[in-house]
Structure 1
Amino acid sequence: MKKCIIEHGLGKTIVLLVCVLGVLVCVSSCDSDRVNAGGTGKLRLSLSADTTSLKKGINNSTKAATSDEFEKFLTTADYKIRIVQESDTVQSYDRFDEMPSEIELKEGAYTMIAYKGNNLPSAFENPYFEGSTDFTVKADMSTPIDVTCTLGNARVTVDYTDDFKKAYEEYATLLKTSFTSEKLEIVKEEQRPAYLQVDKDGTELNVSIRLKKVGGNETKEYPVPATIVLERRQNVRLIFKTDGTSNGIGVDILLDDKLEKETFWPEIPDFM
């Protein structure tokens, strides 16, 4: 009697295991079919670079880039490539010229990013070029996309008028944005352009100036009252001057060679 009960129990167990295994195989097969349901397509990338600034050719400015400052960025062979889907990088290449002429991707929506240089918060002589575009891959189709890379940060230079130089023997301009942990200092006689990281929607630039008048012993720092909203590809030129009445100093703010603001602040008469 005992033996019979054991055999009957084993029989039920074996049947149950077979059913469970059958369900698992079915579920696995269904999942596999679901994963493979989306087909694949192909991507073809055409890459170019544009070295002009936001509103006009940056090379036309008196204080604009020298002819060789952006020259190397016109060569796209060594641009880095990233293909992103929902913030995840699905494909990447260290050089554009090492990228296949066609790439096979699963059906879906992607973003192509091409870039060259280092997008640092602030640094001298550090242009960064970038281009991106959204695209969709469809099954059994070849998708061509064109990406044009442009200056991805903002370029800033500083000048001082002759009357300003006569009034002050020491001076430096200080730049600060939300990306910088410390102020970038552009010292007297500094001619190198400063490059600042800029958000895609623009970034506020705070400017201050540190002064020591001719024959004086004290150095003071004063913030410029107006902030500047930087944009990518922008060429910014700051020209500091006296206000002509010994009541303070001012600054002309040129964006892409166009005078956008003329700011004076008279809080320095005691210092003059």
Structure 2
Amino acid sequence: MGCGMEDEVDQEGYWMLQVDTDFTITTETKSSTESRASVPSVNDFVVELYNASGSTLVQKWEHFSDMGETIRSKTGDFLLKTYYGEQHTGAFEKPYYEGSSSFSVKGKQTTQVAVTARIANTKVSVNYKEGFKNYFKDYSMKMASTGDSLLFSKNETRAAFFEPGKVGMSLALTKQDGTQLSYSPASISTEKGKHYIINIDVSENGSGGMDLVIAFDKSTENRPITISLPGSATAVKSPPFILPTGFANGRILSFIVGATDIEPVSALVIAEGGISSCKISTDSYDVMKMNWPIGAIDLAATDASSVTNQQIIRDLGFDFTPSMNGLQMAELDFTKLIPLLPTNSQVDLTHTFYIEVTDEEGDTNARFSVVLQSMNPGFRLFKPVDIPIGSTLANIRFELCEGSINQIKAEYLSYGVWSACEFEKPIEKTNIVNIYSCTIKIPALTTQGQSIRLNYNNGARYSNEQVIEYLK
């Protein structure tokens, strides 16, 4: 063989592809019905070969079955993609699957390439319960992600597939007497590979009227949203209220500075009379230094000044349902804002936000506050174990990476005042680095539990708050 031909062979190699599939879809809500789209054959998947960065298509096979067992290729780094179906903004029973893998081809060698294809969009179903079907003459639900809406009619049983992200909803109802109603629940946040089932029902409200009941995600599955339906002399609209996810009204929610695995933190606004204004404000000077506008910001307003302020706080990471004026439901999402909140290397900072909602009839919600504490890493109190009724001793564990345990004191909250707790047993090291345990004395618990925290060096720093509760 000539030298030139040897060099050419050295610059070529082979690769073999194995495609696996994982068609698992995690169901996020409970339902008595379940629909399943047809599962494709691996042989029907499209296979595309790109350069290492994925910017240039090198070769394409319309079907995996069209590929030979071994592919001859130049040496180098490559990106392989395989998929089935079309990535769309919304379609019935049309899932989209995809997978990718990077690999290298070396001269005179055969590379084994493995890729797993998984569902890459969100599955959504609407489940009309029997009581709901009997109460209304006609009904339908429109849903949309980033594209055209899909209509779930009264007879629709198929599941729809959307791009992951926010999915909006609009419910149109016709009562037996012909009265027409419409409701716009807040959009739901969806993830790829998960199935969200929206359960819609009615129930008696105990005052002679009927409630519309909507349960559409994990946060409301066990605490469904109810809306009083008109048509009864005793049916009275409730004033606006707020359902929190990931926190409690007025209670401190602590997070570690720099944490990236923050659970969703959001507030669902419910206004049966339609949202007229939804104002958010903060008294945190540190947050205002981020360029957060001073004073209340009306998220439902459409004047130029309000729209400008709305965009400012969106850019800071705070998200909310757009064009919420007149809607019965809207979502305020703090999740992306939390990692960007101001921090301090010496002390933990607390940032309080206030939410005030007024409906179109002039009713306003009770005072609602979101209290977020940016906690320095290395000094935190873990969730205590529940204790028996009547007990005044609690075992706690905490982390202290820097400093002396001799400077640690425990405190409990009583009528808004923090008081010192005695240590029943001295602080001890555990077998985990920087983790300590001890037993403290607290007053007999109330039904709401007992808030506690740790104090370092006479108040130089405080830990996050935790709540000790009774054994259920």
Aligned to 2:174, the other structure's residue is in SS state strand
Structure 2 Cα separation of the partners of residues 158 and 65 of structure 1: 11
Letter in 1 for 2:18: S
Give 1:77-88 correspondences, 5 Å limit.
Answer: 77-85=43-51, 86=53, 87-88=55-56
2:7 aligned with 1:39 = no
Deviation at 1:243, TM superposition (A): 4.8
Query: Residue 71 of structure 2 aligns with which residue?
Result: 103
Q: Figure out how many residues of one structure are paired with residues of the other and give that number.
A: 219
Query: Residue 181 of structure 2 aligns with which residue?
Result: 220
Give 1:71-220 correspondences, 5 Å limit.
Answer: 71=39, 73=40, 75-85=41-51, 86=53, 87-178=55-146, 180=147, 182-198=148-164, 203-217=165-179, 219-220=180-181
Which of 25, 31, 35 aligns to 1:65? It is 35
TM-score, normalisation: structure 2? 0.42
Structure 1 Cα separation of the partners of residues 134 and 31 of structure 2: 25
The change in CA–CA distance for 1:130 and 1:119 in structure 2 (over 3 A counts) is: same
Query: Residue 199 of structure 2 aligns with which residue?
Result: 239
The change in CA–CA distance for 1:145 and 1:138 in structure 2 (over 3 A counts) is: same
Structure 2 Cα separation of the partners of residues 259 and 192 of structure 1: 23
Contact 2:141–2:171 under 8 Å retained in 1? yes
Query: Residue 21 of structure 1 aligns with which residue?
Result: none
Which structure is richer in relative contact order (CA contacts within 8 A, separation 6 or more)? 1
Aligned to 1:146, the other structure's residue is in SS state strand
Query: Residue 12 of structure 1 aligns with which residue?
Result: none
- Which is worse superposed, 105-114 or 81-90? 105-114
Structure 1 Cα separation of the partners of residues 223 and 170 of structure 2: 15
Deviation at 1:65, TM superposition (A): 3.4
Query: Residue 16 of structure 1 aligns with which residue?
Result: none
- Which is worse superposed, 128-137 or 189-198? 128-137
The change in CA–CA distance for 1:62 and 1:164 in structure 2 (over 3 A counts) is: closer
Deviation at 1:260, TM superposition (A): 4.9
Contact 2:143–2:170 under 8 Å retained in 1? yes
Deviation at 1:62, TM superposition (A): 4.4
Deviation by residue 1:179-207 (Cα, 9 ceiling, x = unmatched): x1x22111111112212233xxxx11112
**Which protein shows a greater Rg?**
1
Contact 1:253–1:262 under 8 Å retained in 2? no
Name the structure where helix makes up a greater proportion of residues.
Answer: 1
The change in CA–CA distance for 1:261 and 1:234 in structure 2 (over 3 A counts) is: farther
Structure 2 Cα separation of the partners of residues 133 and 147 of structure 1: 6
Aligned to 1:163, the other structure's residue is in SS state helix
Query: Residue 33 of structure 1 aligns with which residue?
Result: none
Which of 40, 49, 53 aligns to 2:25? It is 53
Structure 2 Cα separation of the partners of residues 210 and 233 of structure 1: 28
2:221 aligned with 1:251 = no
Contact 1:121–1:197 under 8 Å retained in 2? yes
Deviation by residue 1:209-263 (Cα, 9 ceiling, x = unmatched): 111122124x3331113x32222222221111125314642212257xx975644
The change in CA–CA distance for 1:84 and 1:165 in structure 2 (over 3 A counts) is: same
Give the root-mean-square deviation of aligned CA atoms: 3.0
The change in CA–CA distance for 1:135 and 1:52 in structure 2 (over 3 A counts) is: same
The change in CA–CA distance for 1:124 and 1:157 in structure 2 (over 3 A counts) is: same
Letter in 1 for 2:48: R
Deviation by residue 1:21-55 (Cα, 9 ceiling, x = unmatched): xxxxxxxxxxxxxxx9x933322110122222147
Which of 227, 236, 244 aligns to 1:266? It is 227
Contact 1:64–1:235 under 8 Å retained in 2? no
TM-score, normalisation: structure 1? 0.69
Stretches of structure 2 that go unaligned for 5 or more consecutive residues are 1-7, 236-472
Deviation by residue 1:57-94 (Cα, 9 ceiling, x = unmatched): xxx9743334xx334x1x21121111122322111001
The change in CA–CA distance for 1:208 and 1:253 in structure 2 (over 3 A counts) is: same
